[in-house]
Amino acid sequence: MFAYTPLIVLFPLLGFLVLGLYGSRMKSEKLIGILGSGTVGLSFLFAVLIFFQMLNVEPEQRKQILILFHWISAFTGSSSSFSVNIAYQIDQLSILMTLVVTGVGFLIHVYSIGYMHGDRGFWRFFAFMNLFIFAMLNLVLADNFLLLFLGWEGVGLCSYLLIGFWYEKKFTGDAAKKAFVVNRIGDFGFIIGMLLIFSTFGSLNFTTVFNNASLLTMGNSTILWITLLLFVGAIGKSAQIPLFVWLPDAMAGPTPVSALIHAATMVTAGVYMVARCSILYALSPVTMEIVAVIGVVTAVFAAAIGLVQNDIKKVLAYSTISQLGYMFLAMGVGAFSAGIFHLMTHAFFKALLFLGSGAVIHAMHDEQDMRKMGGLKEYLPITYWTFLLGALAISGIPPFAGFFSKDEILWKTFNSEQGSWILWLLGIFGAAMTAFYIFRLVILTFEGKKRFDHHLHPHEAPKTMTGALIILAGLSVVGGFVGIPHWSGIEHWLDPVFSPAQYKLMSGEHSGGIMEYMLMAVSVGIAAAGIYIARWIYLRRIEIVASIQHRYPRIYRLLLNKYYVDEMYDATIVEPAIKTSEEILWKIVDVALIDGIVNGSAKVIGAIAQTFRKIQTGVAQSYAIVFIGGILFVITWLLLK
């Protein structure tokens, strides 16, 4: 069964090619939709089959590598060589990621059939989505850094294409460019990290690098730089501080894009990469600390912004940034499988929340401002109930999925050698804010008084959309059970992948006992408190909102304007870059220097020629003088020989 791995990657590629080349001529939306979703569905099917086969073999045999062909094969020196294959590695981690990507991806594709109905670029949408799935699968299934990077760049490209899908509007183009450029900054770090890896280990292959790495000692400074640089790439891709600014703007794209790319899959690529390189991170405690701190600070920072945003998708965008922070917090304290677990559950409920918001936007005829919504629960019942389940999941209420994963992270933060109670406290604070802002969203959108125009007549979404919502809601409910503490199927499943790293970290399981359950109770209590306060303010005493805004106007405006981070970047980076380009690079280097050299050399040649042409006096006698001079020269030379 393993031999069919390349098919998983191949199907979406075929989908992209067929839809890309012929899609514009296909008249039937149904055909395009079936084709686009079907390829992803087939990939999911094969992934499931491989997963079941893996279950039936011993843990040691679950890792397999399939080489498709030799991509690069170059000799770089006397004994070294640089060779990279297109090869896929199936192991517990990659199959998990594949299942998430193809499973959630399939549901979102089906949803998009309904959401994108009637759009002029219907075929283009599905083509790009398939290309995205292809790139993402390359990323998670790669067996070497270069192929992973290929997928990394590919998803960045598709993100650009899909954010800017409605390219007629200027701000979508700007948002797409911003996403790509900020990603690129991260990619720069990633590339240098890859170069360092190659120069240190002589190969970009995961197996080779990680086997050699496990022989090193902790605190190695090269590894420090490698992990730091790779993490820079992750900061860009997964929208952490300071490179998160592209994600809220990316909400300009269609909602399924936000769900798939900016919630469930692409942004989790950074987390996956850190998990894959767990052994490298385990060797560098400094980087782990940095990762954890950046993760938790981002989590709190973004959650705070989400408290006051009025656009439904922006709240969810900041929520995504915040939850990604939690995943990095997990990575930073050595809880790699907890982070991946949260990645999985987050994919479920965040996709659900985004798709649900898409249904709302669809029903409200493209209105996204929550202040103009309210009381939609009687018009959109399925959407409401599924959305509520997703909200409960993200808040961390048991027995929903988010509870198990988030709680695992918080417990490991408190408990493990690399964590500390300060980080735990910040994490709890973030969890409280999470519960608050998500239920603020639920209440403003679905409950309370109707604040929208009566002529709108919102109606429930079609079955293609609600079907996906229901399935995702189901997963959000039961998805957490694979991570029940002390049974923790998922942790055992992923154990062989992370065991070299865990060995380095020498993380013993301080068996939690009472402490663990106490902290669990605290986190649930905080979440419940957050929900209760949100309901109390927004349902009963909505005037409190206005009075808080009135009493702390500066804080409110700071949060509403996203801490002015964008403006700061504009002033410090963007404007100087534009100025430099214009004044220096264009006016001086390009016009004066380069054009000057090129035109100048032509002018110099012209001037030289002008001087030399005076030799042609036209008088034959002058030429004769030169003859005699030449004779003199030749005779002299012969004499002197």
Question: Which CB, 517 or 627, lies closer to another protein?
Answer: 627
Q: How far apart are CA 471 and CA 351, in angstroms?
A: 11
Please list the residues that pair with 311 across neighbouring strands.
369
Torsion angle in degrees (nearest 10) through CA of 184, 187, 192, 197: -170
Task: Say if residues 355 and 471 touch (Cβ distance below 8 Å).
Answer: no
Using the contact rule CB under 8 A, the part of the chain among 255-263, 284-292, 458-466, 632-640 near another protein is 632-640
What number of other Cβ atoms are within 10 A of residue 450's Cβ? 15
Q: From the list 215, 457, 615, 641, which residue makes contact with another protein (rule: CB under 8 A)?
A: 615
Answer yes or no whether residue 489 interacts with another protein by CB under 8 A.
Answer: no
Answer yes or no whether residue 631 interacts with another protein by CB under 8 A.
Answer: yes
Please list the residues that pair with 74 across neighbouring strands.
82
Q: From the list 55, 215, 514, 619, which residue makes contact with another protein (rule: CB under 8 A)?
A: 619
Ramachandran angles phi, psi of 549, nearest 5°? -60, -35
Answer yes or no whether residue 542 interacts with another protein by CB under 8 A.
Answer: no
Question: Which CB, 514 or 609, lies closer to another protein?
Answer: 609
Q: From the list 584, 589, 591, 625, which residue makes contact with another protein (rule: CB under 8 A)?
A: 625
| Span 76-135, contacts to another protein by CB under 8 A | none
* Smallest separation, CB 605 to another protein (Å): 16
Answer yes or no whether residue 617 interacts with another protein by CB under 8 A.
Answer: yes
Q: From the list 55, 74, 215, 628, which residue makes contact with another protein (rule: CB under 8 A)?
A: 628
* Smallest separation, CB 633 to another protein (Å): 9
DSSP 429-484: HHHHHHHHHHHHHHHHHHSSS--S-GGG---PPPHHHHHHHHHHHHHHHHGGGGG-
* Smallest separation, CB 608 to another protein (Å): 14
Answer yes or no whether residue 635 interacts with another protein by CB under 8 A.
Answer: yes
Question: Which CB, 593 or 607, lies closer to another protein?
Answer: 607
Using the contact rule CB under 8 A, the part of the chain among 111-119, 189-197, 442-450, 628-636 near another protein is 628-636
Task: Say if residues 126 and 35 touch (Cβ distance below 8 Å).
Answer: yes
Answer yes or no whether residue 74 interacts with another protein by CB under 8 A.
Answer: no
Q: How far apart are CA 257 and CA 251, in angstroms?
A: 8
Using the contact rule CB under 8 A, the part of the chain among 3-11, 34-42, 99-107, 614-622 near another protein is 614-622
Question: Which CB, 525 or 630, lies closer to another protein?
Answer: 630
Residues 6+ apart with CB under 8 A from 253: 162, 163, 164, 165, 166, 172, 175, 176
Q: How far apart are CA 238 and CA 242, in angstroms?
A: 11
Answer yes or no whether residue 622 interacts with another protein by CB under 8 A.
Answer: yes
* Cα 252 to the center of its chain, rounded Å: 16
Answer yes or no whether residue 636 interacts with another protein by CB under 8 A.
Answer: yes
Token pair 């899959």: residue:
265
Answer yes or no whether residue 620 interacts with another protein by CB under 8 A.
Answer: yes
Question: Which CB, 181 or 626, lies closer to another protein?
Answer: 626
Answer yes or no whether residue 547 interacts with another protein by CB under 8 A.
Answer: no
Answer yes or no whether residue 59 interacts with another protein by CB under 8 A.
Answer: no
Direct distance between the N- and C-terminal alpha carbons of the chain, in angstroms, rounded to an integer: 87
| Span 584-613, contacts to another protein by CB under 8 A | 613
Residues shown for the chain: 641
Q: How far apart are CA 59 and CA 537, in angstroms?
A: 51
Question: Which CB, 511 or 610, lies closer to another protein?
Answer: 610
* Smallest separation, CB 636 to another protein (Å): 7
Question: Which CB, 61 or 622, lies closer to another protein?
Answer: 622
Task: Say if residues 488 and 411 touch (Cβ distance below 8 Å).
Answer: no
Torsion angle in degrees (nearest 10) through CA of 284, 286, 287, 288: 90
* Smallest separation, CB 628 to another protein (Å): 4
Q: From the list 89, 230, 639, 641, which residue makes contact with another protein (rule: CB under 8 A)?
A: 639
Sign of the dihedral through C-alpha 249, 252, 255, 260? negative
Q: How far apart are CA 201 and CA 80, in angstroms?
A: 11
Question: Which CB, 217 or 610, lies closer to another protein?
Answer: 610
Answer yes or no whether residue 211 interacts with another protein by CB under 8 A.
Answer: no
* Smallest separation, CB 621 to another protein (Å): 5
Q: Which tokens sit at 294?
A: 């950046």
Using the contact rule CB under 8 A, the part of the chain among 214-222, 369-377, 484-492, 630-638 near another protein is 630-638
* Cα 90 to the center of its chain, rounded Å: 22
* Smallest separation, CB 589 to another protein (Å): 38
List of residues contacting another protein (CB under 8 A)? 613-622, 624-625, 628-629, 631-632, 635-636, 639
